[in-house]
Chains A and B, each alone.
Chain A
Amino acid sequence: MSATKKLGRKSPWPAIGTHGVLAFVTLLTMYPLLIVLRIALSPGDSGMTPSLNPVPHEFSLDNFIAVVTNTSAQGDWLFGRQLLNSVVISIATTVLGIFLATTAAYAFSRFRFPGRKAGLMAFLVSQMFPGVLMMVPLYLILEALGLLNASFGLVVVYATIAIPFCVWMLKGYFDTIPKDLEESAIMDGASQFTIFWRIILPLSMPAVAVTALFSFMTAWNEFVLAFTFMEEPKAFTLPVTVYSYVGEQSVEWGKFAAASIIVSIPIMVLFFALQKNLVGGLTAGGVKG
């Protein structure tokens, strides 16, 4: 391809080659999802065929209807209940996560205080704690706090899981904001909190958006803890139900595929809405050198 570079008029071949490679890789990436779409849109489990064709043989929304109308033996509308649980828990986690992470990251970025380095290190090291180790103690602690089987318990746990990554990312982003603005604000008599709330936060919206996305994803996608800490199906979040379709008792690929799509759509929408921020927020922040 480099040979064509010297010519004044551009040859179309490099562009075609690039698009060829990209289209191939994209197809490869999308293919599993197209298969899931086929399985979901075929009646029952009939989409689970050896065919490579991603278009369903026979089109049907039965799987989606079965998943959405899932009710318990007592006649409760389980899907609605679990969707509500997931939405409430995820939004609450996002709000709590942003609150905890932005305030902590602001202090780590702008103040020098004893314990700062240790605190930052502790956040980093906590990423290395294996989840299996924490499960039994976490269960005991939630039990002692009376938060077992309560949505609030999950919210608090999810928010703390999301904190370390978010704090590091936000701190990196805050570091890139010039201090001149704050200095002139202090001249005008602004308080420390005003600076945080009126200057730092509005300027860091890309990074805050990524934090929000990350917190939301942590809560929305998690199923091991939700499965362990929640006993009644009415208290489950959606991922627990998705997993149960391919659980040990039965394998219902059709329903699983339909439920997966329903669960993935909100995350994908958020990703697409925030993807510009994702590129900027992540690199200026958490992974700054």
Chain B
Amino acid sequence: MVADPTQADTGGANAPLYARISDALAAVLFVAVVAGSVLGLTRYNDARDYSRAVQARVGKLADDLAARVVQTGPRAADTLPDGVASAYVVVSGGTDDFGIAVGSQVAASHVSDPAAAPPTPDGKQIFDQGLLNLSAEFQDYHSKGQPVPSDRHFSVAGLNANETLFAANAQVLDGNEFKGIVQVTVRVPNPTPSTPTSQLGLMLLLTLGLAFGASYLTGLHRRLALGAAVGVGVAFTFVGQPFGFILWPGLVGLGLGAAFVTGVASVFRGVREQPRTYVYVVPAMIGMIVLVFVPFAMGVAIAFFSSDGDFTGFGNFQEILNPSATTHPNFYWTTSVTILWTVLNVLLHVSIGVALALVLNRPKLRLKALYRVLLIIPWAVPNYITALIWKSMFNQQYGAVNSLLDVIGVEQVNWIGPGSSFASNFIADLTTNTWLGFPFMMVVTLGALQSIPKELYEAADIDGAGRWQRFRTVTLPLLKPALIPAIILGVVWTFNMFNVIYLVSGGAPENETNILITEAYYAFKVLHRFGLAAAYSILIFFMLLIYGWMQNRVTRATEGAFE
């Protein structure tokens, strides 16, 4: 989002008021995003830690009571430690012949805090019935030998703005016999947020003022001043925290602000100056932001959490980039396979596509339209169907590939079945994707060939150029502008070609033919480790970004697009 050089300098003493407001709003936007996400994360983590601590404390009270009930009976609820708001004991009558729990009753209740008691007699009846149902549910888990899920173990009810009634339930077990349940409730204060809301408001005002002031500067000074406004605003949000917690977000804000605020501010200014232009772009942009860029940002955030929701910093990345010796296939194997896969595929797509296009482009070829239609077909078939079709073709017993080998007298190959080798699985994937991908390159080449003027070939003929020379000196250079962007797209699509790998070889043998995207999906779907999957995805993204950037530097493929 770096501003176009033409409008880099918009500040200064004579800048219009709306330009200053644009600067201020852009800076505030950055503070809101940076400080908002850091604060959101810390508040989320604090709340989790707090609720875990309360769960441990109240859970222990419930367990103690359950143990005492086993020894001294339900009346154990009459003597309670300080701080307990209420306690209930449900005694189960066991199960009938059909295995259904019967004869449960609330055997004892002790309410020391009136706020914890049900308000009316009707309410009490409903409350008691709820306890009996809960007991039956616990008994069911016990008889099936399953652990009680945590949302049945603990529950919360808000009392007022500052306090919560926290309830813990525990099973009463005599040996291994289910006797009933106990419920203990405790009144707990809500955690106070580490940064008060008033401080957040102040910090936004501060940023607004500083950025407004920064708009009186020009050029690099304005840039740095806007960065400083963002940095100060972010840092101010965390006043009261340890020093490191103020410094780092502040520095991140400073860097981001200096790099990007002027760009965003110029967009705001543009909206004011030529609102009609933006009307055309805004619908598409809103869709992209809400459904592509925001999910991407959320995905990036997920990469820094473990599967339990704990913040782990770079833990997931470390696990991928520094694999243990027993991890096979590890990240470096998978990356090599992915690169091999991409290079071979694109090479085959381009060479087959260009070759066919050259043949089809002959001036007096009969049936040209028919050939072209038939050769485009693989592109028209949905690619998951293609993948599944080829999977059936590579079936060892019934597949057409082995039947064909049989005809030419080659022994049957176990392509993708259990016990098949890496090479055979990889070839199966490669064949499928080649079939799928060459028509795109063919169509692109055909289009580019049509735009090559005939005179160039005539001139080459006069110069006495042979076929190969004509191709090398006339055709190829003129195909390049069309082919290079197509190759970039092809590389990106092949690098992330999930369907073929997942549906044909499925990563067999032992995930060895997985490429990075299917490995990420494996972490997501099989291991249920969203953080790890997200970390994989970010690595994929950066590899593609670096590739695209380098390719663009070398070939200047997108150069003309921005003029």
Contact = CB atoms under 8 A, between A and B. Distances in A.
A30 B380 CA distance: 12
Nearest to A35: B400
Interface in B278-318: 278, 280-281, 283-285, 287-288, 290-296, 298-300, 302
A32 B292 CA distance: 36
Nearest to B498: A131
A179 B501 CA distance: 47
Interface stretch (A59-67, A70-78, A110-118): A110-118
B422 to A, nearest CB: 23
B548 A128 contact: yes
A22 interface: yes
A137 B298 contact: yes
A49 B406 CA distance: 14
A51 B393 CA distance: 11
Interface string B248-288: 00000000000000010011011000101110110111011
B266 to A, nearest CB: 4
Contacts of B302: 136-137
A141 B295 contact: yes
Interface stretch (B89-97, B125-133, B383-391): B383-391
Contact of B380 (A117, A129, A157, A264): A264
A284 B447 contact: yes
B384 A264 contact: no
B3 A18 contact: no
B280 A160 contact: no
Contacts of B67: none
B557 interface: yes
A104 B295 contact: no
A99 B481 CA distance: 28
A114 B270 contact: yes
A7 interface: no
A289 interface: yes
Interface string A98-116: 0111011011100101111
A164 to B, nearest CB: 8
Interface stretch (B49-57, B102-110, B169-177, B533-541): B533-541
Interface residues of B, number: 112
A69 interface: no
A128 B557 contact: no
B261 to A, nearest CB: 13
B29 interface: no
B148 interface: no
A272 B359 CA distance: 20
A107 B281 contact: yes
Interface in B4-42: 4, 7
A114 B403 contact: no
B486 interface: yes
A256 B385 CA distance: 9
A100 B281 CA distance: 8
Interface string A12-26: 000100110110011
A284 B285 CA distance: 24
B385 A260 contact: yes
A138 interface: yes
A99 B283 contact: yes
A50 B266 CA distance: 66
B544 A128 contact: yes
B106 to A, nearest CB: 38
Nearest to B535: A133
Contacts of A288: 481-482, 485, 560-561
Interface in B479-497: 480-486, 489, 492, 496
A172 B561 contact: yes
B270 A130 contact: no
Among A18, A22, A135, A167, which residue has the most Cβ atoms of chain B within 10 A?
Answer: A22
Interface stretch (B79-87, B328-336, B371-379): B371-379
A29 B377 contact: yes
Interface in B397-411: 397-400, 402-404, 406-407
B450 interface: yes
Contacts of B397: 50
A128 B378 CA distance: 24
Interface in B346-365: 356, 359-360, 362, 365
A107 B280 contact: yes
Contact of B496 (A100, A130, A140, A284): A130
B481 A289 contact: yes
Nearest to B521: A132
B295 A134 contact: yes
B246 interface: no
B379 A271 contact: yes
B263 A118 contact: yes
B498 A163 contact: no
Interface string B534-555: 1011101100110010000000
B445 to A, nearest CB: 9
B325 interface: no
A246 interface: yes
Residue among B291, B383, B404 facing the most chain A CB atoms (10 A cut-off): B291
Nearest to A142: B291
A48 to B, nearest CB: 5
B517 A114 contact: no
Contact of B467 (A2, A159, A223): A2
A259 to B, nearest CB: 9
B227 to A, nearest CB: 18
A220 interface: yes
A101 B281 CA distance: 9
A275 B263 CA distance: 41
Task: Give the interface centre of A31, A114, A116, A160 by most chain B CB atoms within 10 Å.
Answer: A114
B284 A18 contact: no
A3 to B, nearest CB: 11
B466 interface: yes
Interface string A195-221: 010000000000000000000010011
B378 A100 contact: no
Nearest to B524: A132
A267 interface: yes
B520 interface: yes
A136 B544 contact: no
11 contacts: A22-B356, A25-B375, A50-B403, A114-B4, A117-B4, A133-B537, A136-B298, A160-B291, A163-B288, A267-B382, A278-B443
3 tightest CB-CB pairs across the interface, nearest first?
A289-B481, A283-B447, A133-B537
Given A137-B294, A279-B443, 14 more contacts: A19-B367, A114-B270, A125-B545, A129-B292, A129-B537, A132-B533, A133-B537, A192-B276, A221-B384, A271-B379, A272-B373, A279-B450, A283-B446, A286-B485
Interface of B: 1-4, 7, 263, 266-267, 269-270, 274, 276-278, 280-281, 283-285, 287-288, 290-296, 298-300, 302, 356, 359-360, 362, 365-367, 371-386, 388-393, 395, 397-400, 402-404, 406-407, 435, 443-444, 446-448, 450-451, 466-467, 480-486, 489, 492, 496, 498, 517, 520-521, 524, 530, 533-534, 536-538, 540-541, 544-545, 548, 557-558, 560-562
